[in-house]
Amino acid sequence: MSIPADRIYSLEGKGLKLTTAEDIAPYLEEIRALETLEELRLNGNTIGTEAAKALADVMRTKTTLKVATLHDIFTSRLKDEVKESLIAICGTLVELPNLIEVNLSDNAFGPLGAEAMADFLSKHTGLQVLKLNNNGLGIHGGTTIAQALIACQAECEEQGKQPSLHTLVCGRNRLENGSAPAFAKAFSALKSLREVRMPQNGIRPEGIAELIGGLSDNSGLVVIDLQDNTFTHSGSAALAEALVKWELLEVLNVGDCLLGSTGGRLVVEALKDRATLKSVNLQYNEIEQDGAIALAESLRSLKALESLELNGNRFEAESNAVELIKAALSENDLDDDILGSLSDMEELTEDEEEEDEEGEGEEEEEEEKSEKRKKEPTTGPKTASDVLEDDLADLVSQMKDQLNV
């Protein structure tokens, strides 16, 4: 959304300390003078309670306001002071009929701040974009926000309208597993979400599976960012299942999520069904050689891809698997530059290498047995089991030739 410059009022990054009503009065006069105000940018200043109340009184008169950019406006303020300021500001925001976006990120108001804005979030049915990044919400604060969104959906239903919220940014808030059930319920109720960013929240596999279960009811999802949470196998399995439902998905960021070897393979195999993807981040997930080979096969379907991040996984940058990935990109007329740096690939430990070697030895032994059986005269028609065994041996042989093993 582009707003004309003459409809924006900005004090962005000026570092003003506005504590009293007198401190903010000159700027409020400038705001009053704007006949049509659509965006208010106050980020990068610090606002006290009395100044916030005076600001709220003036904002109430600006019914054309669409975007309130209020991140990083409470530096050095006490928590109780911030809560009172938020109550005043949010009490005005709920009255603004054209408001569609609010950014309150980088304000360390914690659970108290969540309580202060809950009434606004539960009643403003026209809000489309909510940004609450790095607020220290914790489990209680996150649950409060999610419950407010559920209440808002109920209000929409009562008014006979569809929920408007399509973008939620709620990263770096220590939400953990405790808030996951409430957010999952909110996501499932809304069904309107197109962009969800919740990185760095300490959410573990059970919570991830719940969140993804709720998000799977949002078929219009375009962007999902869950970077730096913990998936392992169960979270990865939930993601792989949900990927089939997100037919418009363009951005998938699950970097540094500990998908693991088996979980990573589940996810990369599911990518083949998401031809809409433009950006995929799978960095630092302990994905191994077999996962990389599976990814190469899935990439053949991703003809719109613009960015692929695989650094920090557990296969060599010069391996045949990477060559297969590059070949898949080339097959789609995509440049190698799409593939990000592979400068920090993780090496297998000695024990893991020994396990791999033992596995390879068993495969070679099975292949030799299969070849021997092929040379022996047959006494009758092959059973289904014989055919399957022969096919498996052929597949192993082809894979070894492909990887020069």
pLDDT digits (tens, 9 = 90+) for 259-291: 999 999 999 999 999 999 999 999 999 999 999
Dig out the tokens for 342 from the structure: 């592979």
| Beta bridge partners of residue 103, listed in sequence order | 69, 131
DSSP-derived 3-state class of residue 389 = helix
| Beta bridge partners of residue 195, listed in sequence order | 167, 223
DSSP-derived 3-state class of residue 64 = coil
Alpha-carbon gap, residue 227 to 270, rounded angstroms: 18
DSSP-derived 3-state class of residue 310 = coil
Dig out the tokens for 219 from the structure: 């078929």
Specify which of 135-139, 344-348, 354-358 reaches the highest per-range mean pLDDT. Answer: 135-139
> Phi and psi at residue 129, in whole multiples of 5°?
-130, 125
pLDDT on residue 397: 47
Amino acid identity, position 367: E
Q: What percent of the chain has pLDDT over 70?
A: 86
pLDDT one-digit tens code per residue, 144-166: 999 999 999 999 999 999 999 99
| Beta bridge partners of residue 308, listed in sequence order | 280, 339
Q: Is the pLDDT of residue 374 over 60?
A: no
Inter-residue contact 152 to 163 (CB < 8 Å): yes
Amino acid identity, position 216: S
| Residue tagged 């650094």 (tokens) | 311
Q: What percent of the chain has pLDDT over 90?
A: 84
Dig out the tokens for 36 from the structure: 């049509």
Instruction: Provide the pLDDT confidence category of residue 336 given band limits of 50, 70 and 90.
Output: confident
With CA atoms as reference, report the closest residue to 288 among 259, 313, 255: 313
* Helix (H) / strand (E) containing 47: strand 46-47
Q: How far is CA 308 from CA 69, 249, 282, in A?
A: 32, 15, 8
Inter-residue contact 176 to 139 (CB < 8 Å): yes
Inter-residue contact 166 to 128 (CB < 8 Å): yes
pLDDT on residue 402: 55
